[in-house]
A and B are shown apart, each in its own frame.
Chain A
């Protein structure tokens, strides 16, 4: 088991967002969190990353408890978050945006680890934009840079928060192919999506969140074969 989240309760200030959410992700699996806007998908990913520490419950990464650890420690352990709003550093060049995510002691990069050359092979556009300021990229390019930047830390688990949000269909298609390539390489992925098309195409299993609770869980094939579930929880 790569990730085991057990009954976490997360608050923003006084508002209770997650009510005992539990989920699991196994090695090399792609798992999606589906649900309408505001049900707690982003909060779940932020809880795992340590950006919104849960008040109770447990989050185990490869058997080690990480609840209460700082985000930078969690990153160094091998979890990488690609946030919904991307957050490219605008006054760093594309190259510097990638360099900044390299972990201490891994500056030279191991043989199988991600290097700038390797992420440029996955996202060729980043090579062309290498010396440009991060702030000058288009939405799709920013999304690719965000994924590439997170890969620089050689994550064992990749958290993708709404990777298709706000992107043109052609760009979504490109991102989808790149995620599938990562999946083929054995990357373990947990992603959240509101638009379930992309998620259903690439995921093995799924969780549906409703009002901070897990309302349904199962194989994606099951979900595809049962339009009732989709209608009830996702309004599709």
Chain B
């Protein structure tokens, strides 16, 4: 393996990892606060991807259409999330866990079929937006600029989320509700509103990832399941409910996939699962999680 190849795989591994981080962070925040494991979180990501394709292909002539889409699509996804929380999830918090799985699995089917109905079964692509096309040369190596942009997005969102949780009143409220919903309510915190807000934030992150992904991949049905499995691996590695855990887990999985496919292509899909199994055996609560 040459130095060029190592650098190239590292960069592409981290940039895919950053997109996965955005999705896993949403899954993890939602689980931490609402105690709901949203199986449909991959579908939320996919919806973002289809909206990205839908907007950029419908308004081709609009200057900077991708950037407007990047603003609008995640917000629309967050609104859809808000409706899901208010009208569906809210009814099952007091029920057994099984109901969550049935409900969120049902959402996978509903969102998947809706996307199929609107955008069809084909593969769609979105061009790399100006000004991030082409390559940039660093230390004599050439890197796709868009990948660097994705890495920047991942770091920015990570720092933003950590700061939000640690230093703002909203973060304080989320931490309190996450620890003890009932006590938070008895101290005047409108818990149902916080639940809706956190679910929307998680969906916004999934929608953001969905909107950022198409220029370096394709928009297609089935990406929901591929992504949710990777997210489960990430949160198991990092620790469910932990933001730094999702960040580290996503980078590890991104690199593992990039190098796996380079070194032993036939076994590449298995590496993530193997790492997950090792973590489950030696540290079941994940690298950054807290033991129960």
The residues of A with any CB-CB pair to B shorter than 8 Å are: 49-51, 70-72, 75-76, 81, 83, 87, 89-92, 96, 99-101, 103-104, 149-150, 153
Report yes or no: B180 in contact with A87, Cβ–Cβ below 8 A. Answer: yes
Nearest chain A residue, comparing its CB with the CB of B191: A72
**Complex interface: chain B residues within 8 A of A149 (CB):** 187
Report yes or no: B175 in contact with A75, Cβ–Cβ below 8 A. Answer: no
Q: Is B142 an interface residue (CB 8 A)?
A: no
Q: Is B115 an interface residue (CB 8 A)?
A: no
Size of the chain B interface, CB-CB below 8 angstroms: 17
Report yes or no: B188 in contact with A72, Cβ–Cβ below 8 A. Answer: yes
Report yes or no: B189 in contact with A72, Cβ–Cβ below 8 A. Answer: yes
Nearest chain A residue, comparing its CB with the CB of B178: A91
User: Given A49, A70, A91, which contacts B179 in the complex, CB threshold below 8 Å?
Assistant: A91
**Complex interface: chain B residues within 8 A of A96 (CB):** 172
Q: Is B128 an interface residue (CB 8 A)?
A: no
Q: Is B182 an interface residue (CB 8 A)?
A: yes
Q: A92 and B176 in contact (CB under 8 A), knowing A76-B188, A100-B189?
A: yes
Q: Which 3 A-B pairs have the closest CB atoms?
A: A75-B188, A71-B185, A87-B183
Q: Beta-carbon contacts of B178-202 to A below 8 Å, as 1s and 0s?
A: 0110111111111100000000000
**Complex interface: chain B residues within 8 A of A153 (CB):** 187-188
Q: A99 and B190 in contact (CB under 8 A), knowing A51-B182, A71-B182?
A: no
Q: Is B173 an interface residue (CB 8 A)?
A: yes
Q: A89 and B189 in contact (CB under 8 A), knowing A96-B172, A99-B172, A100-B173?
A: no
Bound form: Cα–Cα A171–B176 in Å: 27
Nearest chain B residue, comparing its CB with the CB of A107: B169
The residues of B with any CB-CB pair to A shorter than 8 Å are: 169, 172-173, 175-176, 179-180, 182-191
**Complex interface: chain B residues within 8 A of A87 (CB):** 180, 183
Report yes or no: B175 in contact with A91, Cβ–Cβ below 8 A. Answer: yes
Report yes or no: A81 in contact with B179, Cβ–Cβ below 8 A. Answer: no
Bound form: Cα–Cα A229–B191 in Å: 43
Q: A75 and B179 in contact (CB under 8 A), knowing A96-B172, A100-B172, A100-B173?
A: no
CB distance from A80 to the nearest CB of B (A): 8
CB distance from A22 to the nearest CB of B (A): 23
Bound form: Cα–Cα A71–B191 in Å: 10
Nearest chain A residue, comparing its CB with the CB of B169: A99
**Complex interface: chain A residues within 8 A of B176 (CB):** 89, 92, 100
Report yes or no: A92 in contact with B182, Cβ–Cβ below 8 A. Answer: no
Bound form: Cα–Cα A51–B185 in Å: 9
Q: Which of B182, B187, B189, B191 has the most CB of A within 10 A?
A: B187
Report yes or no: B175 in contact with A83, Cβ–Cβ below 8 A. Answer: no
Bound form: Cα–Cα A127–B111 in Å: 52
Report yes or no: B185 in contact with A70, Cβ–Cβ below 8 A. Answer: yes
User: Given A70, A75, A91, which contacts B187 in the complex, CB threshold below 8 Å?
Assistant: A75
**Complex interface: chain A residues within 8 A of B172 (CB):** 92, 96, 99-100
CB distance from B265 to the nearest CB of A (A): 43
**Complex interface: chain B residues within 8 A of A71 (CB):** 182, 185-186
**Complex interface: chain A residues within 8 A of B173 (CB):** 100
**Complex interface: chain A residues within 8 A of B180 (CB):** 87, 89
Bound form: Cα–Cα A161–B18 in Å: 48
Q: A49 and B175 in contact (CB under 8 A), knowing A72-B191, A87-B180, A89-B180?
A: no
Cβ contacts A to B, 28 pairs, < 8 Å: A51-B182, A51-B185, A51-B186, A70-B190, A72-B185, A72-B186, A72-B187, A72-B188, A72-B191, A75-B185, A75-B186, A75-B187, A75-B188, A81-B186, A83-B186, A87-B183, A89-B175, A89-B176, A90-B179, A91-B175, A92-B172, A96-B172, A99-B169, A99-B172, A100-B172, A100-B184, A103-B188, A149-B187
